[in-house]
Structure 1
Amino acid sequence: MRARAGTTYFGRQRYSTIRKQCEKSGQLFVDTEFPPTNSSLFLEQGRSSDIVWKRPAEIVTDPHLFVEGASPNDVTQGILGNCWFVSACSALTHNTALLDKVIPNSNKQEWGPGNTYSGLFRFRFWRFGNWMEVVVDDLLPTRDGKLLFARSKTPNEFWSALLEKAFAKLYGCYENLVGGHLSDALQDVSGGVAETISMSKFLKNDPANQSNLLFERLSMAYENEALVIAAIAARTKEEIEETLDCGLVKGHAYAVTDVRFIELNAKEKSISSFLLGSMEKQRMIRLQNPWGEKEWNGPWSDGSPEWEQVTDSTKKSLGITVDEDGEFWMPWESFTQYFTDISVCQLFNTSVFSLAKSYDEKIFFGHWSSNGARSGAPGDLAGGCLNFPASFCSNPQYVFDVNDEKNEVMFALTQREVGEGKKRREPFVCIGMHIMRVERNRVTRVHQPTEPVEASDYANARSVFLHLIDVRPGRYIILPTTYAPREQATYMLRAYSSEKLHMKELKRQAPSVGWCWQSASHVTRVHIVDASLPGTSGDFYCMLDDGKSQLRTRTMRESTSPKWDEQFLFFKRSARQKYAVEVWEDRKIGRDRLVGRVDIIALTDNDSREEVKEFGEGKIRVKIAAYDDPLYL
């Protein structure tokens, strides 16, 4: 059931309906779907506890959802081991528009004049392409009159505690929140695309330059209101929540609350140094420990002498305090030394009318299923990963074009969670993505796998991410797959690019040809590799003519030996095909000049060969593959 486009109701509980019922009966809401009992706390039935459920007005005299707005200190972790969620909520406080989406109409849910208090609150989480509304009562777990789980540093502020309760309801019980994936929590509170960056992998090659690149990426992401969480991985169970000598905690997640350069020696700065841009700067990052304590105690920690290099006004603008509030600055070099993983949840602007940078968005829903077909046969859409080459190409396939030399394309593959809201859930299947470059004119499915241009890691996770940067222009196919064949799951594939992708799903196995729309019986791939054009230099492209159509490669600039490396695909009914390959000079002014022409013959010999054809003083290298099975390539 949908509240409106893009919003669903969890458990079919409507906030407006329940509110009217409470107002009519004069009774405060008690949620029978998530009752204030041990069943909402624990996975196992029959466990006893001394926990008492109380409403906020029974804990403090003047309860509010928000007190002076939202800040990272509003979200402090309790005794529950759910720093992954608490850190995501802390990061959420830096994006007010998103916070308003997660807590809709918060003013009307507040205690106070003009609002009828019913003990009822509603929140929204992003789940598999929709915003899901979850309602809860405000009975919260306490011990000795104090909240046990998430709470605010301000005693009468309750939005974080109630939001955590709604999240526990979504996950079946509070205990299910112990341990979790940072990327899942970020997606749940934002609907964005979450990428987890391994520090060791990212900095492996050329650490200095990669460190600069990572700082720039995080700084830009934060400026664009991305949600960012950092963590120090624990290698053993014993290391979880182990405090290091530097004050940081292993197996623990921290919200990133700022990334920036800070001017040094600012007390002595002169007009000339400012104008010349010679001011010394320090790369810094600010983090929030969801415990509200245990901060970094190394260089640039609260009260450290390094801050004497910064003016009082700058320190004030940065919020520098010596309070033990869990929020602290640390130098970038120390951050990359200690932290092992960063989760960045991007929120892409997809509006075509926006003045800000906009992204092209494509969203596809699909299902991995064998559909009753044998493995690898037409109809089978669950082929597994590249380790299973016989069935791999049975997976769903999506084609897209990259036209710009400087390109960036991001993909997020998400599988639907089975048993949402239940305590016991089905495990996720292992999923991943594979991208390969294909023929420039391909419009049908690929039948033979090739080595990936890029591939994601495979993970038993709700989502995996793949980031393409500066790949060669051309046509590509992405295959979302499970790791093993014949595994079934429903998925959502999202793509974001700064240029139009013209992305679509490929369903046809092979095209029809001829006037009578007969089936093709042969398939040929012509691969224009490169050319040698001695004695001349210019901008060159190739034209490929099969007698019915002309296809063009991209132009290679200022070269005497252009390397096109482009492939074209042809489906025919004849076993012998003639193709003309022409080399042209792309002239800026006047008509383009024909440099040379060669003819090639494609024989269906179910094999591939390479030919070097000469014309005048030049020569061109071409590879030809022809088969009598139109479903071979």
Structure 2
Amino acid sequence: MSLCSFLKGKSPGPHHTSFRRESFGRPYQQPHQDYETLLERCLRNNCLFEDDSFPADMSSIGKGPLLQKLPPTMQWKRPTELHDNPVFYSTKAGRLGLCQGVVGNCWFLAALEALTFHWDILTRVVPLKQSFTKKYAGLFLFQFWHFGEWVPVVVDDRLPVNEAGQLIFLSSTCKNVFWASLLEKAYAKLSGSYEDLQIGHVSEAFVDFTGGVTATIQLAKAPSDLWDILVRVSSRRSLLGCQTHSGERVLDNGLVDGHAYTITGIRKVTCHNGPEYLVRLRNPWGKVEWKGDWSDRSKKWDLLNPKEKILLLRNDEDGEFWMSFHDFKFHFVSLVICQLTPDLMSQEGGKKWMCSLSAGRWVRGSTAGGRLRHYRDTFWMNPQFQLTVLSADEDKRSSNLCSVLVSLMQKSKSRHRNQMHHLPVGTFLFRVNKLWEGNHRLPQEFFQKTTPLFVPRDFQTQREVSYEFFLEPGTYLIVPCTSEPWQESEFILRVFSRKHALYEMGSNCSFVLPKEIVDRYEGEEKFFTKLFEKNPEIDAIQLQKILNNMTWTHLSSLQPTFSMDACLGILALLDLNATGTVSIQEFRCLWKRLLIYQEVFHKQDKYKSGFLESGQLRAAAQEAGILLSDEVCNLMAIRYGNSNRKIGFENFVYFMLRVENVEEAFRNLTQDDKGIYLLKSEWLMMTLYC
């Protein structure tokens, strides 16, 4: 359990390594608002819901350039005040009857219009049984896939309008339909404000709507079989979007620079002089269309037989148009494909896929090692994930290549999505032989001797990057990293294939235990299991007996003696539920840390005196993943050292456990990595606890 959760009075759970890692620096969490409870309360009190967490005022709009686009007399009105017969959703409104407002969120709207092609996914994001008549209480529910889980978002139905009662932001061509306007408000709430929707990528909205995996193809470097790829993904459950070249103007040809479009269809047609390949697109503005070949008024349509022309051509100013595949590749800069089932660009159809998801982090001085080419000495510190690709066929001897899709997504700790600074990230892939197999992290030696199977061509500054591999059954190592060392962020690693196993190698610390220590831990694990069979929880007295009867093989001949005060202090740091005892899960976590502390203490105790000086203390802490200044180390030598300011192993353990807790507490409480604000009760709890 994180200290932040402890300060807020949440019930603690088992304290084990993976739990601590995933609770570290979690993304901003929406305030918990239970839709059914709120609805029942409003109906019982005969009142309309007002959302204090996303109020009808300028704080929900934002503070940036969007303010300049607002009308001087903006008001907030409910749909029941704007129309005599408001409806939440109507099939009569048409699939693409949406129009962008003054928010520069064409990327969001392009993704939303692609979503309308998939009824089952749309109804998951937008529960359609809501209405303005039956059980109406002024609140509506939406769901988004947010960093690995589906998150419900509740909003009230107060929407910004101008003095004529017209919606300022997203609207429907059917003026009494409001599902899309309320969905935009819910997404703005999830993102922090309407202002936070001003800049974005269609790939982000695709993922937030579906939980799928996106791939971006730069059309200037598109593969020769791009049309075949489009045919395959269009015939499956895929969402397609694209982006024009940078700029902010409407071109003479009708396209808009720096704009996102939805791909709504593709078609191969037969002209008098041979086949023609066409792409249908839609401008989220609901107007302003392409004016070149195959546009609504192009004479190219006369080259088709009357049946095809009637079937394809719709001469309406609705923002939707056709263009040739050649013109599409020339005028657009990128193509985004979101696959709902991750057989991305593969030939295997109708086969089930499985997904593994793991959360991780890059921490300065600990697990942020940078890329391999320029930072070979620190690359090994990056998080490592072992991937075992199993044969998807019943015949275990089959060596057919398996399609494996790897997605790396950066997580945000800020409430506002536009304050998330995406780092340049990438993923390396290695083949692992039997010599290196095991659950411990692979050492620097492995990366010095092993050539990676895959090296990212470039490190992309995007929220998510994905790769598709075709691998033989076997064991592999996935190493996600930032382009430079010491860059900090959290991430989600997702792996899709027909059959695989994925788990993180070793602990969150950058220090790699020698094999003999790992073997020793595994042997003593059996002893601990037997011990806790008799005593499900141990107290400070039992903890002292265990620690003082252990053989510390990598320390000097002077074996450490843990005092009762030290054991009480250690137990207090582990005992988050204030029972005065620790469970086997908590003790296992402690024992792993002790083995690491033993190794770094032994390494820095160069004279085998059994003590560390201030400079050695700093080096040992850094080896274990904690960066400390000289001033802090000098103070710690005074606080935890003897009269000569030298620290023995017992006090080193106590010090390291405390500094790790304080480090984690700061990261959980800070919003900008510079400072924190605490209530008096929280400050007292933290100082007394840590």
TM-score bin (small chain): 0.5 to 0.7
**Distance across 2 between alignment mates of 1:424 and 1:290:** 21
**Distance across 1 between alignment mates of 2:141 and 2:90:** 18
Deviation digits for residues 291-338 of structure 1 (CA, Å, limit 9, x no counterpart): 1111111111113222234344444544x2111100111111111111
**Is 1:345 paired with 2:366?**
no
**Distance across 2 between alignment mates of 1:86 and 1:45:** 19
**Is 1:334 paired with 2:327?**
yes
**What does residue 151 of structure 2 align with?**
132
| Matched residue SS, 2:436 | coil
Deviation digits for residues 234-267 of structure 1 (CA, Å, limit 9, x no counterpart): 1xxxx22x222221111000011112323446xx
Query: Given that residues 383 and 485 in structure 1 are in contact (C-alpha distance below 8 angstroms), is that contact kept between their aligned partners in structure 2?
Result: yes
**Distance across 2 between alignment mates of 1:451 and 1:340:** 33
| Letter aligned with residue 225 of structure 1 | R
- Among residues 222, 230, 233, which one is paired with 1:221 in the alignment? 233
**Distance across 2 between alignment mates of 1:513 and 1:424:** 48
Query: Given that residues 72 and 288 in structure 1 are in contact (C-alpha distance below 8 angstroms), is that contact kept between their aligned partners in structure 2?
Result: no
**Distance across 2 between alignment mates of 1:502 and 1:365:** 15
**Distance across 1 between alignment mates of 2:453 and 2:34:** 47
**Is 1:417 paired with 2:412?**
yes
**What does residue 66 of structure 1 align with?**
89
**What does residue 489 of structure 2 align with?**
489
> Residues 132 and 259 of structure 1: is their aligned pair in 2 closer, same or farther, counting only changes over 3 Å?
same
Structure 2 residues without counterparts, runs of 5 or longer: 1-9, 11-27, 392-398, 522-690
**What does residue 465 of structure 1 align with?**
466
**Is 1:476 paired with 2:476?**
yes
| Letter aligned with residue 249 of structure 1 | V
**What does residue 293 of structure 2 align with?**
299
Question: Mean alpha-carbon deviation: is it higher for 188-197 or for 361-370?
Answer: 361-370
**Distance across 2 between alignment mates of 1:215 and 1:225:** 17
Aligned-residue offset at 1:471: 5.7
**Distance across 2 between alignment mates of 1:124 and 1:197:** 28
**What does residue 573 of structure 1 align with?**
none
Query: Given that residues 93 and 173 in structure 2 are in contact (C-alpha distance below 8 angstroms), is that contact kept between their aligned partners in structure 1?
Result: no
Deviation digits for residues 201-255 of structure 1 (CA, Å, limit 9, x no counterpart): 225xxxxxx1xx1112122212212111101121xxxx22x22222111100001
- Among residues 86, 90, 93, which one is paired with 2:116 in the alignment? 93
Aligned-residue offset at 1:62: 1.5
| Letter aligned with residue 458 of structure 1 | F
| Letter aligned with residue 174 of structure 1 | Y
| Letter aligned with residue 269 of structure 2 | I
> Residues 310 and 189 of structure 1: is their aligned pair in 2 closer, same or farther, counting only changes over 3 Å?
same
Higher strand content, 1 or 2: 1
> What pairs up with 1:248-397 in 2 under 5 angstroms?
248-264=255-271, 280-318=274-312, 320-348=313-341, 356-369=350-363, 375=365, 380-386=366-372, 387-397=374-384
**Distance across 2 between alignment mates of 1:287 and 1:21:** 45
**Distance across 1 between alignment mates of 2:425 and 2:177:** 41
**Distance across 2 between alignment mates of 1:140 and 1:261:** 43
| Letter aligned with residue 502 of structure 1 | A
| Matched residue SS, 1:12 | coil
> Residues 262 and 46 of structure 1: is their aligned pair in 2 closer, same or farther, counting only changes over 3 Å?
closer
Aligned-residue offset at 1:44: 6.0
- Among residues 175, 186, 193, which one is paired with 1:166 in the alignment? 186
Aligned-residue offset at 1:474: 5.6
**Distance across 1 between alignment mates of 2:117 and 2:64:** 37
Question: Mean alpha-carbon deviation: is it higher for 474-483 or for 339-348?
Answer: 474-483
Deviation digits for residues 134-168 of structure 1 (CA, Å, limit 9, x no counterpart): 11111111112111111111111111111111111
**Distance across 1 between alignment mates of 2:264 and 2:84:** 32
> Residues 70 and 97 of structure 1: is their aligned pair in 2 closer, same or farther, counting only changes over 3 Å?
farther
Aligned-residue offset at 1:196: 1.4
Question: Mean alpha-carbon deviation: is it higher for 249-258 or for 499-508?
Answer: 499-508
Structure 1 residues without counterparts, runs of 5 or longer: 2-7, 204-209, 266-278, 520-633
**Is 1:151 paired with 2:155?**
no
Aligned-residue offset at 1:9: 8.3
Deviation digits for residues 469-510 of structure 1 (CA, Å, limit 9, x no counterpart): x4677643210112333333322111122x423333332957
Query: Given that residues 101 and 171 in structure 2 are in contact (C-alpha distance below 8 angstroms), is that contact kept between their aligned partners in structure 1?
Result: yes
**Distance across 2 between alignment mates of 1:202 and 1:345:** 17
**Distance across 2 between alignment mates of 1:39 and 1:364:** 35
| Letter aligned with residue 160 of structure 1 | A
> What pairs up with 1:421-440 in 2 under 5 angstroms?
422=416, 425-439=419-433
- Structure of greater relative contact order (alpha carbons < 8 Å, 6+ residues apart): 2
Aligned-residue offset at 1:451: 4.8
- Among residues 389, 408, 413, which one is paired with 2:403 in the alignment? 408
Deviation digits for residues 361-400 of structure 1 (CA, Å, limit 9, x no counterpart): 2222222235xxxx5xxxx322222222111011121233
| Letter aligned with residue 495 of structure 1 | V
**What does residue 529 of structure 1 align with?**
none
> Residues 423 and 346 of structure 1: is their aligned pair in 2 closer, same or farther, counting only changes over 3 Å?
closer
**Distance across 2 between alignment mates of 1:423 and 1:464:** 17
Deviation digits for residues 33-77 of structure 1 (CA, Å, limit 9, x no counterpart): 111111211226997942111111222222112222675523211
**Distance across 1 between alignment mates of 2:151 and 2:337:** 22
> Residues 440 and 198 of structure 1: is their aligned pair in 2 closer, same or farther, counting only changes over 3 Å?
farther
| Matched residue SS, 2:210 | coil
In the superposition, the TM-score normalised over structure 1's length comes to 0.68
Question: Mean alpha-carbon deviation: is it higher for 25-34 or for 481-490?
Answer: 481-490
- Among residues 107, 110, 132, which one is paired with 1:111 in the alignment? 132
Query: Given that residues 237 and 341 in structure 2 are in contact (C-alpha distance below 8 angstroms), is that contact kept between their aligned partners in structure 1?
Result: no
Question: Mean alpha-carbon deviation: is it higher for 72-81 or for 451-460?
Answer: 451-460
Q: Percent identity?
A: 34
Aligned-residue offset at 1:290: 0.2
> Residues 18 and 9 of structure 1: is their aligned pair in 2 closer, same or farther, counting only changes over 3 Å?
farther
Query: Given that residues 429 and 477 in structure 2 are in contact (C-alpha distance below 8 angstroms), is that contact kept between their aligned partners in structure 1?
Result: yes
> Residues 396 and 185 of structure 1: is their aligned pair in 2 closer, same or farther, counting only changes over 3 Å?
same
Q: Number of aligned pairs?
A: 467
Query: Given that residues 71 and 90 in structure 1 are in contact (C-alpha distance below 8 angstroms), is that contact kept between their aligned partners in structure 2?
Result: no
| Letter aligned with residue 149 of structure 2 | N
- Among residues 199, 206, 221, which one is paired with 1:186 in the alignment? 206
Aligned-residue offset at 1:189: 1.0
Deviation digits for residues 492-530 of structure 1 (CA, Å, limit 9, x no counterpart): 111122x4233333329578589x9589xxxxxxxxxxx
In the superposition, the TM-score normalised over structure 2's length comes to 0.63
**Distance across 2 between alignment mates of 1:52 and 1:174:** 15
> Residues 423 and 383 of structure 1: is their aligned pair in 2 closer, same or farther, counting only changes over 3 Å?
closer
